[in-house]
Amino acid sequence: MALDTHRFWRSLIPCTFPIVLAWSWVSWQGYQGLNGQDAHDYHLIAQGYATWMHGGGARPAMVEHPHGYPIAGVLLGGLLGSTLIGLRAISACSLLLLAGLMIHLVRRARWDRGASIALVLTMTASAPFLLRYALTVMSDLPGIALVFGAYVCCLHWIAGGADRWLVLSLLVAALALTVRLATAPMLCALVAGVLILRIQDPGKRRLVLTLVMAVSALFAAAWSFWPRMHIAPLRPLLGDWSLLALFERVHRSDDGLLRYALPNVLYLLKVAVHPGFIPLGIVLLPFARRKDLNTPEARLALWPMLGYLLFIGGMPYQNDRVLLMAQPFVAVLFFPAFGRAWARLVGARVRWAITLIVVMGQLALSMRAVRPFVRQAQLERELAGRIQMRHPQLVYTHGMGAAFRDLCPDVPVRELWYGVVEDFQSGGLVVVQPLSLEQQWQGEMPWINYRHALGQGLTYAALDPEGWVVQGVK
């Protein structure tokens, strides 16, 4: 069904309101979208490209992140007058793109305009965790929107659309990989789903399904139990992935020692019922039916969702940010349930009153979800201010390396994670969380290096409320 352009934009406009309100609130709080290692890394990469494009400095080298997002931030920042604003605008616009794709998908299923707007507003545009990362300098939302765009293009091709839909889906998928490597498992699962759904012959379909499952199982087992595979080029993407991690609650990884209440396989269910992902999930569960999985949208959505969740479950951590990529596909599975719940509401005024209440409640949850980010950004600036006041020749830290390189560009920074530091430079500063090192990093490189620094001698410093200390090396 062709989508009327005018009606589409009329449906999308209400989805801008949650983003505008949330952006205004964080701006009033002084939050600029920069908190955590990855956000500062992206900002540093973007600044490096901006300098290089103007003839100064070397082109940024590949680090842990693909450079598609920071490059796009530089290009857009050239129009907006600020690289940082460009990066933030891309994150915010990615949520709008995702909302637009959702509207297109719902309207393609011949929903009326009111139900379409209500669904996308409550399930996407004001979903707390999606909105939180729309306000942050991160590649998550661009990656999510591009993967979902590839999924929508594949749906058109499976339904008998022209081959240009397949070509477009491949281009969008390639863009997703330039933005975020974590999209690779989801894209691989999407390809498998497209092949199986596109093949008409039942025998061939079963053969392809068997091969996909067999290859996936063999690779998972080999990676988990054959250490020699870990020297492969896939190591940066797969990290410490293990099949056994699905059933474990205690993990040791690059993030130190982590303990959780539930094993990873149960934690994955969070994406369907936690208020941060889909606030209406628990409300809609009674309206769900098994036949909901028979629609083309649901059958194709199951592949990237399940493939990605099983991949994430094998990682030695539990992380809401990483889990977020499955959210739009879980929302697709809830489409029929939402339609039944919407039909139960009698009268347009009742429907829109409830929709408004739900959206306002989700905005409140979003602000609660963003508040730790705002506080972390304030803490990073406070610690950076202390460093600049003391003019050290070198800063040793763990967990603040990217933030200090970004906020204190004239001060060399050394992360305590990378190798043993036998001799700390006199006059340098050590900025760490001692309690965190004892609880989470005992026996690991940051803890070992901090013990070396204590042995060499550190000046006393007052403890920050979050447990950070700034200590001088004797």
- On whether both 362 and 395 belong to a single domain, the answer is no
- Least trusted range by pLDDT, from 193-202, 303-312, 357-366, 404-413: 193-202
- On whether both 262 and 401 belong to a single domain, the answer is no
Query: Is there a domain that residue 386 lies in?
Result: no
Domain total of the chain: 2
| Range 402-411 burial, b when 16+ CB lie within 10 A, else e | bbbbbbbeeb
Q: In what order do the strands lie in the sheet with 429-432?
A: 413-415, 395-397, 429-432, 469-472
Query: Is there a domain that residue 191 lies in?
Result: yes
- Enclosing domain of residue 426: 391-472
pLDDT, one tens digit per residue, over 288-297 is: 999 999 988 9
Segment 227-256 shows an average pLDDT of 71
CA Rg, the chain, in Å?
24
CB 334 within 8 A of CB 102: no
Strand partners, 470: 431
- On whether both 442 and 332 belong to a single domain, the answer is no
Q: Kindly report the pTM of this predicted structure.
A: 0.91
Of 441, 432, 417, the closest CA to residue 470 belongs to 432
Query: Is there a domain that residue 378 lies in?
Result: no
The amino acid present at 44, given as its one-letter code, is: L
- On whether both 363 and 459 belong to a single domain, the answer is no
- On whether both 368 and 398 belong to a single domain, the answer is no
Q: Which long-range contacts (CB under 8 A, 24 or more apart) does 67-72 make?
A: 67/178, 68/139, 68/142, 68/175, 68/178, 68/179, 69/42, 69/139, 69/142, 69/179, 69/180, 70/42, 70/43, 70/45, 70/46, 71/46, 72/142, 72/179
Please list, in sequence order, all residues whose beta carbon lies within 8 angstroms of the beta carbon of residue 85, skipping any fewer than 6 positions away: 77
- On whether both 146 and 28 belong to a single domain, the answer is yes
- pLDDT over 70, % of the chain: 92
pLDDT, one tens digit per residue, over 355-414 is: 899 999 999 999 999 999 999 999 999 999 989 888 888 999 998 999 999 999 889 999
Query: Is there a domain that residue 466 lies in?
Result: yes
